A and B are shown apart, each in its own frame.
Chain A
Amino acid sequence: MTLADVRDDFPLLARTVRDGKPLVYLDSGATAQKPRAVLDAEREFNERHNAAVARGAHFLAEEATGLFEAARSEVAAFVGAGAGEIVWAENATAAINIVAAAIGNASAGVGGEESARFRIGPGDEICVTEAEHHANLVPWQQLAVRTGATLRWIPVDDDGRLDLDHLDSVVTERTKVLAFTHASNITGVISPVATLVARAKAVGALTVLDACQSVPHLGVDLAGLDVDFAAFSGHKMLGPTGIGALYGRKELLDALPPAVFGGGAVKTVTMESTTWQEAPMRHEPGTQPVAQAVGMAAAARYLTALGMDDVAAHEREIAAILREGVAEIPGARLLGPAWDAEATDVIGLAAVSIDGVHPHDVGQVLDDRGIAVRVGHHCGQPLHRRLGVTGSTRASAHVYTTTDDARAFVEALATVPSFFGVSA
């Protein structure tokens, strides 16, 4: 793909920051910039087609409903799912919470016999990994509190890769749920999904995949990965904020009770009881983020047109510059594995710790040059703790990231130790 052409699609990238400095945007792991195709799709919907979906019978309502469901189909196709297997959520955090809260509801008896298969309680175990974003840790930790189940986790090694020596002892017949990230937002490491899914299947556990850092950057086929549930967000894949998606195998989504209750999700309501619609409607009570769904579909279309293989190859090139560059800076420590051109299990980011300099201070020096990065713990306190640091400075790439952007990061980072008088 021609990079210059891609950048022209993103109006924001043309602006300057901090007294006229060109923007070097390396915070796509937190949120990505949006191409005109996405902005236009949202505006076009609001200007021409906005109406309440799945409720009215008037012309506009039909048109809006059609666009809303077409968006669902497109996003579903983008991740290898069927349209009925995508539930809209506010973001990926909300999507994961739908599964956790619904399991909690099932455990309390909601959904009756139909949902009994999801019940967990004392003696059962919920498994995660030490590499999880808080969004895929805290909901499970709190579900354990709520149900009396026990939370366990697969540890990571010093490189941030899952220590699979512990897989069979952590994921056992007692495990009811195995929730894990597809790609770490800190080390960039891609999890061995097939191995984890095989183990979960062998013990009869449900799998929940946090696909936030994979879907925007790699071609992901959720059905092919054979996970039971997955979550990803719109805004990290060049789409709008306020929209994310929960993927679930249809027969599971149809049996899972709602996490949140309300109108539009129900079949029959009496004063005493309620029956639910099939998925995805049963999981989408209340008015949905319709324009955002249309925008997210436009993002999927945009990425598909670029070709996810090309996107992944481009971001690998950026990863090489970031990770190799960081390794050459005295006093800088790359979190996660050193760059290895043979290893294909790392996405396009680099989180770095500089000896003796706090990430906020590092970020300030970069910001002074117009370089936008993430500083702090990136919602991954346990993983940082495991790697022996409290926080880090992270540069993360997307389709519009240039090799010059990556080099600017490395160059600026190299000035940090001397600025703070901690030269190695």
Chain B
Amino acid sequence: MSSLEQMYQQVIMDHAREAHGRGLADPGLIQVGESHQVNTTCGDEVTLRVGLDGDRVASLTWEGQGCSISQASVSVLHDLVEDHTLAEAEQAMDAFRDLMQAKGEGPDDDKEDLLGDATAFVGVGKYPARIKCAMLGWMAFKDALIQARKDES
């Protein structure tokens, strides 16, 4: 598999074509946070909204436009964290960030189980200019969580 094919694995192409969680929804919850992030290199943007129910990410929806990497990445994020606990979401975020910094090295088996479809983004780590694309939605998620939890004390 060439570097290019490794980057654009079928899983990524599929998520880019039919992204999950697209379309901002009102989660009907009290703890809601929203974040708008822009990749200044290309102007790609994502607006992401999370609704928390106790320690659970009850809802993650988003809108955005951008390259296949950025769009597929938010879709994968949606699948990984919606209906999961905050602790699991934090684990996924850490694992994905590590994957981006691994310069194309695949994750170990535990991490691979944790990341699921997100493992397909391994090839992006070889291209520093594209890591920002893959991280765009994750940055929005991180920020939206802070927004959602800022009234907690």
Contact = CB atoms under 8 A, between A and B. Distances in A.
Contacts of B44: 358, 360
Interface in A129-157: none
Interface residues of A, number: 19
Interface string B58-70: 0000000111110
A376 interface: yes
A358 B43 contact: no
A420 B43 contact: no
From B3, B42, B44, B127, name the one whose CB has the most chain A CB atoms within 10 angstroms: B42
Interface stretch (A113-121, A191-199, A361-369): A361-369
Interface residues of B, number: 19
Interface in B59-93: 65-69
B42 A364 contact: no
A18 B68 contact: no
Contacts, number: 47
Contacts of A376: 41-43
A367 B59 CA distance: 38
A381 interface: yes
B42 A361 contact: no
Contacts of A357: 68
From A357, A361, A377, A390, name the one whose CB has the most chain B CB atoms within 10 angstroms: A361
From B2, B43, B69, B127, name the one whose CB has the most chain A CB atoms within 10 angstroms: B43
A359 B42 contact: yes
Interface string A371-410: 0000111000100000000110000000000000000000
A300 B2 CA distance: 42
Contact of A361 (B43, B65, B69): B69
A420 B65 contact: no
Nearest to A384: B43
A358 B3 contact: no
A364 B41 contact: no
B3 A368 contact: yes
B16 to A, nearest CB: 9
B12 to A, nearest CB: 10
Interface in A408-424: 419-421
A41 to B, nearest CB: 32
B65 A390 contact: yes
A360 B43 contact: no
B4 A365 contact: yes
B73 to A, nearest CB: 12
B7 interface: yes
Nearest to B45: A390
30 contacts: A357-B68, A358-B42, A358-B44, A360-B44, A360-B67, A360-B69, A361-B8, A361-B67, A361-B68, A361-B69, A364-B4, A364-B8, A364-B127, A364-B130, A368-B2, A368-B3, A368-B4, A375-B42, A376-B42, A376-B43, A377-B42, A377-B43, A381-B43, A390-B43, A390-B65, A391-B42, A420-B13, A420-B68, A421-B13, A421-B17
B117 to A, nearest CB: 18
B140 interface: no
Given A364-B7, A368-B4, A358 B68 contact: yes
Interface in B1-39: 2-4, 7-8, 13, 17
B133 interface: yes
